[in-house]
Amino acid sequence: MLCPSGVVIINKPAGSTSHAVTQGVKRLLSAKKTGHTGTLDPFATGVLPICVNEATKLVQFLALDDKCYQATVRFGSETDTGDVEGDVVAAAEWEEVTPERLRRELSHYCGEIELEIPLHSAVKVGGRPLYFYAHRGIEVKELPRRKSLIYQIDLIDFSLPHATLEIHCAKGTYIRSLVKALGRSLGSLAHLVHLDRLQSGIFSKSSALTLETLEEKVRDNPAALEEVMIRPADALPMFPSLFLAPHEVRRVRNGIPLHRPPVQCASFRDQSCVRLLDEKSGGLVAVGKVKNEGIIDLVRVFFGAS
């Protein structure tokens, strides 16, 4: 049985890299290609959407999705990596941290904020990724900073020296940096001891499978793969849909931009992208971008995607 194209939601275990999990899915499904939509650190767990075969073309869109995390923080120390896998480099008192103070401080971190990029990251400084300097013990005098968007932070549990937070944020937010800044603003220090991604865009942990469960399902019933795999057409519900007649499907798959009367495209002009679907099968033919003249430029074209 040929492996179909689609998205499988994996519950990444602690201790595995996102790349290793992605390759594990590739081997398990005998897929030609796979790709994930956003790296989780090895110690982190939770939602890791894996795009399979033609659906790997979805990565550029799904990587932009908002995320939701549950983060467990330990007050009283910082590590060189910002998380539990690093060495403690500084210590401080933590007894003055209270739930009330913590909630007040959390409110200051909602909205657009600026966070320091961790030293153990792939962001480049001087032409080299920051982890290059970290692994060689080379000092970086001033770490770059990046704007991040935090929608909401809730205190879920509090038992000093630990606290558990639920964080809803935009892509590219370094939770390690958020925790480090939070500890300092409370007059203490802090690092991340556990991180669990609860949601990535429309994909939630409730629908995520472990690699072991996926293997069992496929081994016992290969047809069950289609039940757990999300069709490419269903993975982009944030984009409005246009249905294509058979002759339009052929033209689009030959790389020819779609022409529609401007009046038909009027309601789509302010959208970032549009799903172009086969009116017969409902399958994803392409992702397009509507222009004012009624021309839909092709951003990505899909072959054999359902």
Task: Specify whether 41 is catalytic.
Answer: yes
Report the C-alpha gap between 273 and 296 in whole angstroms: 10
The widest CA-to-CA distance across the chain, in whole angstroms, is 70
> What would the DSSP string read from start to end of 119-161?
SSSS-EETTEEHHHHHHTT---SS--EEEEEEEEEEEEEEETT
Reduced DSSP (H G I as helix, E B as strand, rest coil) percent helix, strand, coil of the chain, to 5: 30, 35, 35
Instruction: Identify which of 67, 42, 38 has the alpha carbon closest to the alpha carbon of residue 194.
Output: 42
Q: Which of 286-295's residues contact partners 24+ apart within 8 Å by CB, and which partners?
A: 286/252, 286/253, 287/61, 287/236, 287/239, 288/242, 288/257, 288/258, 290/265, 292/262, 293/262, 294/259, 294/260, 294/261, 294/262, 294/264, 294/265, 295/257, 295/258, 295/259
Alpha carbon 218 to its chain centroid, in Å, reads 25
**Identified catalytic residue from 41, 83, 196, 278:** 41
Phi, psi of 44 (to 5 degrees): -80, 160
Task: List the catalytic residues.
Answer: 41
